[in-house]
Amino acid sequence: MTATTVLPRQTAYPGHELYGAAPYQGRAAARHHRRAAARATTRGTGRRRRAARTDPLRQLLPRMLVVAFLTGGTYAYLTGEKDVELTVDGTPRTLHTFADDIPELLRQQHIPIGDHDSVAPGPNAGLHDGEDIAVRYGRPLALTLDGQRHQVWTTARTVDEALRQLGVPAEGAHLSTPPDAPIGRSGMRLDVRTERTVTFLADGRAHTVRTNAATVRQAAAEAGIAFGPRDTTSVAPGSFPRDGQTVSVMRITGSTEVREEPIPYRTVRQPDPTQFKGTEEVVIPGEVGVRQVRYEQRTVNGVKDRPRRTGARVLKEPIDEVIAVGTKPQPTSVAGADGLNWAGLARCETGGRPNAVDSSGTYGGLYQFDTRTWHALGGTGRPQDAPAAEQTYRAKKLYVRRGTTPWPVCGHKLMS
């Protein structure tokens, strides 16, 4: 292929106006023509070279597309990876993960989550690049707060943090464990006594104290109150002092008194078949015993209590009274008095009432016996308390001794 030389259009050389150069002429024009022919030849050669390179480029194109495809897939793969920081119970670590959410991340890291554990931002939240995740394990806390026992759970790792989490005021409080002590996964026992205000009324004055004492007596000591050997408080001295509580201090003095007191004897009644029914006889008289009794007289804040018996010992034992009670059937007849009108005499004297008593209280029964006469006839007790048959029997005995004299008004009724 023959290169065609193309002559360029006639043009001014740069700067010709300044130097006054004329258009291409002579040898200069020839040189210009040679250069133009060389450039034309070079352009032709370039076209041939580009044509020669066309087939290899077409072979390389599919390979370039495969590389581009693979490069795009790798980029897409890399864009799913996330850099996160995971802090477990205060220990941080940086992770590279493809997990879509927090549960998947925790499963990948073999971190189980219990009912009392906490996860931030949330146990089921999604996962984003650059996220901070915090896992705090729950710890059981056997908390005794102001005397009351509680079983609670906390994700705090120290005592001080646990108290803040539970809303327990620690300022001025007594802690069984230092506030900076760590709480292990197995938990701990913690006794907390918060500061309380207690007022004591002692010796006519009020003493108010801020205290975290465990007992009322300890709080009183902090208030500067001294106790005597018998002094005590209006509430149990060993009880837990409550906030706002008012406690009275009782000053106690006492004395001991010893008295001798009688011990009454018992009455024992024994049957006696040798005596008639309705008759009784004292066989052994009773004797009163004596005991020595010790009493304590207590005075509280100047006021005496009732004496309290604190001991006793017997000085003399009592002797039981023994009474023989007749069981022999009572006779109903008395020689010389059986045929008389005893019913008529009884009606005249008392209207036939065995328990009748006169207005003076001296005479009683159907036949108005006085007690002295009744006992002389073998009767016991009061005549008005004896059976009617016994009263009639003893009236017959009296008649045999004295006739109708004992009944001056109604005695004639015996003969009617």
pLDDT, one tens digit per residue, over 95-152 is 999 999 999 999 999 999 999 999 999 889 999 999 999 999 999 999 999 999 999 9
Nearest 5°: the CA angle 149, 152, 157 is: 120
Query: Is the per-residue pLDDT at 11 higher than 50?
Result: no
For the chain, domains (ranges, CATH) are 82-136 (3.10.20.30), 139-193 (3.10.20.30), 196-250 (3.10.20.90), 254-325 (2.20.230.10), 330-415 (1.10.530.10)
Query: Is the per-residue pLDDT at 320 higher than 90?
Result: yes
At 170, is the pLDDT very low, low, confident or very high (cuts 50, 70, 90)? confident
* Residue 183 near residue 158, CB atoms below 8 Å: yes
Q: pTM of this prediction?
A: 0.48
The Cα–Cα gap between 165 and 182 comes to: 15
Residue 38 is predicted with a pLDDT of: 46
Residue 105 is predicted with a pLDDT of: 92
Q: Measured on CA atoms in the order 152, 156, 159, 161, is the torsion positive or negative? A: negative
Residue 52 is predicted with a pLDDT of: 46
Arithmetic mean of pLDDT, 394-410: 94
Residue 29 is predicted with a pLDDT of: 41
Query: Is the per-residue pLDDT at 203 higher than 80?
Result: yes
Q: Say whether the peptide bond before residue 285 is cis (omega within 30 degrees of 0).
A: no
Comparing CA positions, the residue from 179, 387, 378 lying closest to residue 279 is: 378
Other CB atoms within 10 Å distance of the CB of residue 141: 21
At 63, is the pLDDT very low, low, confident or very high (cuts 50, 70, 90)? low
The Cα–Cα gap between 270 and 289 comes to: 22
Residue 69 is predicted with a pLDDT of: 43
Burial group, residue 378, by CB count within 10 angstroms (0-12, 13-18, 19+): middle
User: What 3-state class would DSSP assign to 358?
Assistant: coil
Other CB atoms within 10 Å distance of the CB of residue 5: 13
What's the token pair of residue 359? 């207005």
Per-residue pLDDT tens digits for 344-390: 999 999 999 999 999 999 999 999 999 999 999 988 889 999 989 88
Residue 34 is predicted with a pLDDT of: 46
Residue 32 is predicted with a pLDDT of: 42
User: What 3-state class would DSSP assign to 93?
Assistant: strand
- Percent of the chain at pLDDT > 70 equals 81
At 70, is the pLDDT very low, low, confident or very high (cuts 50, 70, 90)? very low
Query: Is the per-residue pLDDT at 167 higher than 70?
Result: yes
| Lowest-confidence pick of 72-81, 282-291, 338-347, 405-414 | 72-81
Residue 64 is predicted with a pLDDT of: 52
Residue 329 is predicted with a pLDDT of: 84
At 49, is the pLDDT very low, low, confident or very high (cuts 50, 70, 90)? very low
HSE-up (13 A, CA, CB side) for residue 369: 31
Q: What's the distance, CA 324 to chain centroid?
A: 66
HSE-up (13 A, CA, CB side) for residue 117: 16
The Cα–Cα gap between 261 and 294 comes to: 10
Residue 260: its H or E element: strand 252-263
Arithmetic mean of pLDDT, 155-181: 93
The Cα–Cα gap between 134 and 105 comes to: 12
Q: Where are the beta strands (DSSP E) in 301-380?
A: 303-304, 308-316, 321-328, 363-364, 369-370
Radius of gyration of the chain (CA): 66
Q: 196-202 and 245-250 as β-strands: parallel, antiparallel, unpaired?
A: parallel
What average pLDDT does the chain have?
83
Arithmetic mean of pLDDT, 50-69: 48
The Cα–Cα gap between 40 and 49 comes to: 15
- For residue 21, the 8-state DSSP code is P
* Residue 225 near residue 202, CB atoms below 8 Å: yes
The Cα–Cα gap between 331 and 334 comes to: 8
- For residue 212, the 8-state DSSP code is -
User: What 3-state class would DSSP assign to 232?
Assistant: strand
Q: What's the distance, CA 377 to chain centroid?
A: 79
Residue 17 is predicted with a pLDDT of: 32
